[in-house]
Structure 1
Amino acid sequence: MNSDILNIENKIQGVIVRWNMLPPGCTVVVGLSGGADSLALAHFLLKYGKPRHIHLIAAHINHGLRGKEADGDERFVSLWCGENGVGLKILRADVRALAAEKSEGLEECGRKVRYGFFKELAGENGKIATAHTLSDSTETVLMNLAKGAGTRGLRGIPPVRENIIRPLIGITRAEVEAYCAHYGLHYVTDSTNFEAEYERNKIRLGVIPVLREINPAFESAVFGMTGRLSEDDEYLNALARERLKAAVCPGGYRLETLRGLPGPLLSRAIAMGVEKVRRVRLESRHIEAVAKIVREGAGSATVAGRIQCTAQGNTLSIAAGSGPASFGEWSVPFSAPKTVLPDGRTLNVVKLTEKELEKCHKFNKLLFNNLINYDTISSTISVRNRRSGDTFRPAGRGVTKSLKKLFNEGAVAPSLRGKIAMLESGGEILWIEGFGVSQRACVTEGTHNIAEIIIKEFET
C-alpha cells in the first residue's frame, strides 16, 4: 500500500482508538452526503468495522434546497450503498419551509433536522459518525478567533461529544481527497462550497491558503494547539468543579471561598453554578458581572435565562427567575447582529448577501416570516414582549388586529404569550416571532436591503 495512504489510515485509526470511538459490536450511523469527506468516512468504517462486527448504517438527508443537484446526490448515495452492501436510510425534508415556520436560519434548522434523524436511527446505544475533518476544525477555530472566543471556542470541533464521533478529525481535506483518489472513490461536490459569500468559505478560500504559505503544516499545528487547549481547559474545569463543590453552603456558595479563586477558576465556577440552575448561553459580560459582585461581596446581577445572582452576607445565591410561563413585561435594546433575550435565547438579524437576495427575488419567496426590510430597522428599535393594547398590521393581510386576537387565532397558549419576542420602533410593532413582519416592514420586489431574523435557542 502507498505509504501516504497508510499514514492517513493510521491517523484515522489512531483517533478512533485514542477516544474509544467504536467499541466492537456497536452500531454506528454515518452521515453520508455523497461528498468526499463522508464517502471516505463510510468507506473506511466499512473496512474497519467488518472484523470488529460493527454494524454500519448510512443516513442521507435531502434538505430540498438545491433542487436537481440534491436529487442527484441522493441517487448517487443510493447507488454507492447498494454496490457496497451498506444499509441506507433517507430523509426528505423541506428545510426552507420548516425554517420559515420556526423563524430559524436555514443552517440551524438543517442541523436540527440532520441530528434529529441521526439520533432516531442510532437509538440509545448507537454511535453517530460525522465526517468533520481537521480542515473543518481549523476553520471553526479561525471563525471563533475572529469573534473573540475564549478557550472553549479555540478548542475547535471536539472529536467526541456524547454519542457523536468524528473519526476524520485528525486528517485534512486534502488527505481525504488523496484517500478517495487511492481507492477510486468518486464523489459529488456541493456547489455552495465555492461561493465566497459565506463566512466559512471566506476563511477556507482566502485565509487558510495565506497561513499555509507561512506554515505548510498549519492545520496540523492547529490540531496540536486544540489538543493542548482541550487538556488545559479540562484541567481547569476539574479544579473549578472541586472549588465550587467546596464552596457549597446553605442557600448557595460561600463568597469567601469564591473570592480566593484566581480569575480562570472563578469564571468557570460561576458558569458551572449557573448551569446547575438552568442551561443557558452565558456571554463574557454575564460572567464578569457576577465576578464583580463576588469580589465586592454585595450586589445583584441578572444573567441569561433570567437567572438572578445575588451576593449578600457571605453567600452567593443563584436562582431562576420567572420562567417563560410567567414572564412579566420585558424589553431589551436591540443590538445588531445579536440581541440576548431574557430567557437566554438570542435574536439574530443577518443581512442577506447579494446572491441570496437575487434568489429571493428570482423565486418570489419574499413573504417568509423571518425576512424583513432592513431599512426599517433603526438605532431606536427594541425587542420586547406584549403590552396591553398592542395592535399589529400583518403584511399582506390589509387589517390591523389586537395581539390578543392574533394570538387566539394562532392558538398560542396563554402561558407562552409572554415569551414571544417582537421588534418595536416608536410604538409600532414591526415583527412578531412566529407571525412575521408588519406591512410597513415587509419585503417587496423593490426592497434592496433584506435581513433574516433568526431566533436561536441555547445549544450545548
Structure 2
Amino acid sequence: MKQKLENHLSQNLQFLNGKKLLLATSGGLDSMVMADLFHKLNYEIAIAHCNFQLREMESFEDQNFVQEYANTNSTPLFLTQFDTKAFAEDYKLSTQIAARELRYNWFYELLETENYDYILTAHHADDNLETFLINLSRGTGLEGLTGIPEKNENIIRPLLLFSRQEIENYAKENNIKWREDSSNASDKYLRNKIRHHLVPILKALNPNFITSFQKTQTYLQEAQDMVEDASIIVYQQVAKQEGDDIHFDLNQLRKLPNYKSYLYQWLHEFGFSAWEDIYDLVESQSGKQVFSLEFRLIKDRNSLILSPINLITEKEEFLIEENQKEVKIPLNLSFCKVTDISLVSNTTIFVATDKLQFPLVLRHWNEGDVFQPFGMGGKSKKVSKLFKDEKLSLIDKENAWLLCSNNEIVWVIGIRQDERFRIENKAENILKIQLE
C-alpha cells in the first residue's frame, strides 16, 4: 500500500511535494493509517484533531489517543474542542452538518494562521461508494454520481484509490493502533445503514465490486468533463454578461433539444434548487421570477436574466445637499457649476440651479410617477410609459433612479431630463450633473 500511494502521489498529486500538509486525524482507522503513511514518506505534516464532545468520555479518550501518537512521533499537533450540539441548535443544523462546518472552518483557519498549504482527509473508496449511493437515493444529476473529488481547492483526499479492506490490512500488518467510534455501529444515520446493510450485499454479489465501482466512477467523471466542456461552448452562444447581470437568449436556448440540462449546468452554482420552476420560466409570461438566497432568475420578453438580489430597498432615499460635489452610492454622480452648456447626453444634463430646491432626493421610481420629458413642450408622461417606450427590461426598470427636487422629477437618470428644469437663458446659474 505504501508503494502504491507513493506512485499515486508522484503521478497525480506531485504538487504536494515540499508543501506543509495538515492531516485531519480523528484517531480512527483511516486517519491513523494516513498519518503513518505520510510520516513514512517523509512529508512535512502536522495533525489536526477536533473534539466534537458528542460521545462524552469517548471523545476525550480519542483526543488523548491522538495527542499521545503526535508526541510519540514528534509530529506538530493542533487540537480544538467544539460544543457541537449547541452550534447545531443555534443554527438549526443537523449534528453531522454542524460538525462538518465547524471542522472545515477550523481547518481553513489553521491553513491561514499556521501557514500550511493543504488539508488531507482520509476518505477512501468505500466512503466514495457510500456517498454515491446516498446521492443516488436522494435523486441527483451526473455531478452527484461522480462521488467525492480527490482535490477540492485546498482539500486533498489521497486515499480514495484504496478500499477500507486494504487500509485495515495495512494497519494490521504494520501494527497500527486506532480508535473505534461507537457511533459507527449505529443505524441512526443513512450512511451507516448503507454501510452495514446495502454495501455488504453488493460485495457479496460481486467480490470485486469496489474495483468495478472505481472504473464506473472514472467513466462518470469523464462524462462530466465532457458535459462541462459542452456547457462552456453553448454558454458562449446563449449568454451575455451585462454589468452584474447575465442575459440568456431564449431564442437560442429553445433551439437546444436538452436546454434544461444546460440551464442546470449554468445555474446550480448560484444556489438554485427549484428546477421545475426554472424550466417553466422559459415559456412563462414576462415578470415571473425564481429566487435562490442571493440571486434571482427573471423572465423578460425573450430573455432569462440572472441578477444578484438588490440589497438597497425600493423605499430607500439619498439626500444631496446644495454644495455637494459628488455622490458615490447608489450611483456615481458629479455636480459642477458651469458658465455655459456643452454636449448634452443621456449621462450629462444641465439644469437651472435657481429652479432647484435642496436637498435633492435620489430615489427609485414609483408606479404613479409623472414627469415632463425634455423636448415634448411641457406635456406630461408617466415614467412607466417612458420605460416601455425605451424597451427597458424588468431588471433595468428596477435599477432605475430618479433625481427629484421638491417631489418633482429633475432627471430620470441616464434616460431623460425634465423640461421644467432646463436652461432658458444665459443669465441663469447652471449646474452640470453627470452620471459617471
Asked whether the two chains share a fold, i.e. TM above 0.5, the reply is: yes
Contact 2:29 2:168 in 1 (8 A): yes
Structure 1 residues 375-395: Cα deviation after superposition (integer angstroms, max 9, x where no partner): xxxxxxxxxxxxxxxxxxxxx
Measure, in 1, the Cα distance between the counterparts of 2:314 and 2:163.
48
How far residue 316 of structure 1 moved from its aligned partner, in angstroms, is: 2.1
Asked if 1:255 is matched to 2:250, the reply is yes
Measure, in 1, the Cα distance between the counterparts of 2:38 and 2:275.
42
TM-aligned CA distance change 1:21 to 1:138, over 3 Å: farther
How far residue 260 of structure 1 moved from its aligned partner, in angstroms, is: 2.4
TM-aligned CA distance change 1:44 to 1:212, over 3 Å: same
In the alignment, residue 210 of structure 1 is paired with which amino acid? I
How far residue 14 of structure 1 moved from its aligned partner, in angstroms, is: 4.5
Report SS of the residue matched to 2:142: coil
Equivalent residue, structure 2, for 1:302: 290
How far residue 307 of structure 1 moved from its aligned partner, in angstroms, is: 3.9
Measure, in 2, the Cα distance between the counterparts of 1:66 and 1:270.
41
Equivalent residue, structure 2, for 1:32: 25
Equivalent residue, structure 1, for 2:275: 287
Asked if 1:318 is matched to 2:302, the reply is no
Asked if 1:135 is matched to 2:130, the reply is no
How far residue 161 of structure 1 moved from its aligned partner, in angstroms, is: 0.6
Equivalent residue, structure 2, for 1:66: 55
- Aligned with 1:272 (options 248, 266, 269): 266
TM-aligned CA distance change 1:198 to 1:313, over 3 Å: closer
Give the TM-score normalised by structure 2. Answer: 0.65
Measure, in 2, the Cα distance between the counterparts of 1:37 and 1:116.
21
Measure, in 2, the Cα distance between the counterparts of 1:100 and 1:311.
38
How far residue 247 of structure 1 moved from its aligned partner, in angstroms, is: 1.9
Query: Counting helix residues as a fraction of each chain, which structure ranks higher?
Result: 1
TM-aligned CA distance change 1:213 to 1:107, over 3 Å: same
Measure, in 1, the Cα distance between the counterparts of 2:48 and 2:14.
18
In the alignment, residue 142 of structure 1 is paired with which amino acid? L
Measure, in 2, the Cα distance between the counterparts of 1:154 and 1:273.
18
Measure, in 2, the Cα distance between the counterparts of 1:149 and 1:322.
31
- Aligned with 1:246 (options 237, 245, 248): 237
Contact 1:255 1:297 in 2 (8 A): no
- Aligned with 1:184 (options 175, 178, 192): 175
Measure, in 2, the Cα distance between the counterparts of 1:42 and 1:157.
20
Contact 2:33 2:167 in 1 (8 A): yes
How far residue 305 of structure 1 moved from its aligned partner, in angstroms, is: 2.6
| Deviation larger for 94-103 or 141-150 | 94-103
How far residue 273 of structure 1 moved from its aligned partner, in angstroms, is: 4.5
Report SS of the residue matched to 1:305: coil
- Aligned 1:16-415 pairs, distance under 5 A: 16-20=9-13, 22-48=15-41, 50=42, 54-123=43-112, 126-249=117-240, 252-263=247-258, 266-273=260-267, 275=269, 279-280=270-271, 282-283=272-273, 286-294=274-282, 300-305=288-293, 307-321=295-309
Measure, in 2, the Cα distance between the counterparts of 1:93 and 1:26.
28
Structure 1 residues 362-405: Cα deviation after superposition (integer angstroms, max 9, x where no partner): xxxxxxxxxxxxxxxxxxxxxxxxxxxxxxxxxxxxxxxxxxxx
Contact 1:297 1:311 in 2 (8 A): yes
Structure 1 residues 5-34: Cα deviation after superposition (integer angstroms, max 9, x where no partner): xxx334433543454264321011001111
TM-aligned CA distance change 1:37 to 1:316, over 3 Å: same
Contact 2:132 2:147 in 1 (8 A): yes
Report SS of the residue matched to 2:148: coil
Measure, in 2, the Cα distance between the counterparts of 1:272 and 1:78.
46
In the alignment, residue 275 of structure 2 is paired with which amino acid? I
Structure 1 residues 48-100: Cα deviation after superposition (integer angstroms, max 9, x where no partner): 2x2xxx32010011111112111111111111111112111111121122222
Measure, in 2, the Cα distance between the counterparts of 1:13 and 1:204.
28
Equivalent residue, structure 2, for 1:334: none
Equivalent residue, structure 2, for 1:351: none
How far residue 268 of structure 1 moved from its aligned partner, in angstroms, is: 3.4
Gap runs ≥5 in structure 1: 1-7, 329-460
TM-aligned CA distance change 1:306 to 1:131, over 3 Å: closer
Measure, in 2, the Cα distance between the counterparts of 1:293 and 1:104.
32
Gap runs ≥5 in structure 2: 316-436
| Deviation larger for 58-67 or 216-225 | 216-225
Measure, in 2, the Cα distance between the counterparts of 1:171 and 1:46.
18
Give the TM-score normalised by structure 1. Answer: 0.62
C-alpha RMSD of matched pairs (Å):
2.5
Report SS of the residue matched to 1:152: helix
